[in-house]
Structure 1
Amino acid sequence: MSLREVLTSRGAPSFSFEFFPPRTADGTRTVWRTLRRIEALAPTFVSVTYGAGGSSRDRTVDLAHRIATETTMRPVAHLTVVGHSVAELRHIIGQYAEAGVRDVLVLRGDPPSGPRAPWVPHPEGFTHAHELVSLVRGMGDFSVGVAAFPERHPRSPDWDSEIRHFVDKCRAGADYAVTQMFFHVEDYLRLRDRVAAAGCHVPIIPAITPATDVRQIRRFAELSEAAFPEELARRLDEARDRPADAYRIGVEYATAMAQRLLAEGAPGLHHITLNRSAAARDIHRAVLSARRSPVAGHTAAAA
């Protein structure tokens, strides 16, 4: 089955997990310990990110290939427009196919110097993600995912432009979408409803990012321009010197958010692991437990 068929035919929501390709031998050992723990959960898929400007290209291909051949999991390999000619993109897509990877998550991507740096298209490349969606779809039997932005892409001038660009990706052949980081459920619901009103009905999977380290998560939120809840920030700041308490606060908030998203009809959850599985697994277990016992565990913490 294609990933879209899997996502649309399941009676239960999908559960997936995101990893980045490690740079060192120690990092490789860590990510494989994490992958084996995640494999025991039988996820719908696991995704492998792609460094800015293709900085992790070979490592992304290698990790996705190893997941495809050495585990029972379905790998989804990211691929970005930025910094690549069309010829280079064709070559990378061919590498994915040769590695047995048939699921690609397409993004325009951030410039190598950072998400706020000026966007400069490659002179022989693409400008928009929908162009890469079309290329991937035209090169074989691939399932294609795209990014969705619950708070609008930082470079979008308004919501009309944001939705128009998203619909362009759907029309180019996107099978599903995974959101960027966000912390307010209403932002996801507004995006979903706007997309549906525009006639696009691909599954939009919300990404769940546990805020267990306030300094780290603030940095990520600033880079992506995600609104970080003031009350959550205050509680994490107060627990800065108590890691166990900060961990519990972050996991509880993410769990409540995940439960509400599913209750509101989200097709699944995509857990950001940062290559370590403890928080993602705790959230996953709590969500599954609450689904088996609907009256248990739901809180109103996620706003």
Structure 2
Amino acid sequence: MSSLAPASGQRNRPLFADVAGDIAVSFEFFPPKTEKMEQTLWESVKTLEPLGPRFVSVTYGAGGSTRERTHATVERIARETSLQAAAHLTCVEASRAEIDEVARSYWAAGIRHVVALRGDPPEPGTPFKPHPDGYANAVALVKGLKAIAPFEISVAAYPECHPESRNKAADLDNLWRKIDAGADRAITQFFFSPECFFRFRDQAAAMGIDAEIVPGILPVSNVAQTRKFAGQCGATIPTWMDRLFEGLDNLPAARQLVAATVAAELCGQLYAGGVRHFHFYTLNRAELSYAICHLLGLRPRADRQEQAA
């Protein structure tokens, strides 16, 4: 039976009627550029910490442009919270020796989880060109990281196909090779249809990919910004989303409510279809991700609240 069936069977029940809090979550942040942004990030980290995420990841800018800030953010999370911090690493504009040095420094700092990505070119719209002495792609990067230390490794997956892939079959084959190289799980780029995820999960399973595939959830409050992200990762922005956010440019509270509703409905449909692991692209804000986790039944434990205080 198709994975789509469980979700469709729930249409006559309240969307969150059967949630039991039996989910596991993770959150993604990006390194702050200013003191004010750092304060916002840290408030978000402390707000989400009591939910007990499996890990939180910190992104890595194109061409290693945020290398120091990523490293500092990851180390601070590891040092000052109870959270498992995961560092992003990419292949862009860095030699193998440089990337290996960064990986060893993470291991020495106690960071055991890496999100291994090929990475986007520094100039949007230009083709990716491997560094002459670097890792050619994410498959090679995963192999290189595993040769350095027994890192836990997450990689990216593309439910609607990576924009640079020849076709869906080639894209799935690339995912299979990343898992075969030693990756522990795949985290998808964002999407806005539950059927999109279930179809991709079924296709991956049919290819023999048995690693965990975690849906990446982006709560949208800025459609223009989301459209920019979508162009980089091959995601489709449905026309109804433009209509939902139309006229809300000067009403931030209303935008937040609409964004939470859209993302929560998607997560509720995924939950109804059997999904129990979710990865949230927070954009360094906690409110939307926290609200969705709450709707899915996840509650902070008293001991986690004490640690975050």
Q: TM-score, normalised by structure 2?
A: 0.86
Q: Are the counterparts in 2 of residues 213 and 247 from structure 1 also a CA contact under 8 Å?
A: no
**2:176 pairs with 1:167:** yes
| Corresponding residue for residue 221 of structure 1 | 230
1:62 maps onto 2:72 in alignment: yes
Q: Aligned with 2:39: secondary structure?
A: helix
Tell me by how many angstroms 1:267 deviates: 4.1
Q: Does 1:35 pair with 2:15?
A: no
- Check whether the contact 1:17–1:273 (CA below 8 A) recurs between aligned residues: yes
What CA deviation, in whole Å up to 9, does each residue of 1:248-271 have, x standing for no partner? Answer: 111111001011112223341111
Cα distance between partner residues in 1 of 2:178 and 2:226: 29
Aligned 8 A contact 1:153 1:162 in 2: yes
Match for residue 155 of structure 1 among 161, 164, 167: 164
Separation of aligned partners in 2, 1:223 and 1:87: 28
Query: What is the CA–CA distance in structure 2 between the aligned matches of 1:172 and 1:248, rounded to whole Å?
Result: 42
- Look up the match of 1:20: 30
CA contact (8 A) 1:214 1:240 kept: no
User: Given residue 70 of structure 2, which amino acid in structure 1 is its aligned partner?
Assistant: T
C-alpha distance 61-172 of structure 1, shift in aligned 2 (>3 A): same
Summarize the Cα distance change of 1:87–1:151 in structure 2 as closer, same or farther, 3 Å threshold: same
Name the structure 1 match of 2:291.
282
Deviates more, 1:184-193 or 1:221-230: 221-230
Q: Which structure 1 residue ranges, 5 or more long, are not aligned?
A: 1-10, 291-303
Q: How many corresponding residue pairs?
A: 279
Distance 1:218 1:70, change over 3 A: same
Match of 2:213 among 204, 207, 218: 204
Amino acid at match of 1:246: R
* Deviation of 1:241 (Å): 3.5
Q: Once the 2 structures are TM-superposed, how far is the Cα of residue 289 of structure 1 from its aligned partner? A: 6.6
Deviation, 1:17, is 0.7
Counterparts of 1:174-193 in structure 2 under 5 Å?
Answer: 174-193=183-202
CA distance in 2, matches of 1:91, 1:267: 35
Say yes or no: does 1:104 pair with 2:114.
yes
**Offset at residue 225 of structure 1 (A):** 3.2
1:9-28 Cα shifts (integer Å, max 9, x gaps): xx943211110011111211
Partners of 2:145 and 2:180 in 1: CA distance: 13
RCO greater where, 1 or 2, for CA within 8 Å and sep 6 or more? 2
Deviations 1:140-176 (A, max 9, x none): 1210110000110000011110111010001100100
Are 1:253 and 2:295 matched, yes or no?
no
Which amino acid letter does the alignment assign opposite residue 68 of structure 1? Answer: A
The one-letter amino acid of 1:215's match is A
Amino acid paired to 2:114: V
1:95 Cα deviation from its structure 2 partner: 1.1
Q: Which residue of 2 aligns with 1:7?
A: none
Letter in 1 for 2:64: G
Give runs of aligned pairs for residues 260-279 of structure 1, distance below 5 A.
260-279=269-288
Partner of 1:6: none
CA contact (8 A) 1:61 1:95 kept: no
Map Cα deviations across residues 164-217 of structure 1 (whole Å, 9 max, x no partner): 101000110010011112112122112111111111111111111111222322
Alpha-carbon distance between aligned partners in 2 of 1:264 and 1:18, rounded to the nearest angstrom = 24
Contact 1:180–1:207 under 8 Å retained in 2: yes
1:85 aligns with 95
**Aligned equivalents of 1:134, 1:225: Cα separation in 2:** 26
Point out where structure 2 has 5 or more consecutive residues left out of the alignment: 1-20, 300-309
CA distance in 2, matches of 1:198, 1:225: 21
2:228, 2:182 → 1: CA distance? 33
Secondary structure at 1:288 match in 2: coil
Residue number in structure 1 paired with 2:9: none
Match of 2:190, SS state, is coil
Taking the aligned partners of 1:254 and 1:45, their CA distance within structure 2 comes to 21
5 Å-filtered alignment, 1:114-129, equals 114=124, 116-129=125-138
TM-score (norm 1): 0.88
* Partner SS state of residue 200, structure 1: coil
Give percent identity, aligned residues only. 39
Deviation, 1:62, is 1.2
Q: How well do the aligned residues superpose, as a CA RMSD in angstroms?
A: 1.6
Q: 1:71 to 1:289 in 2, by over 3 A?
A: closer
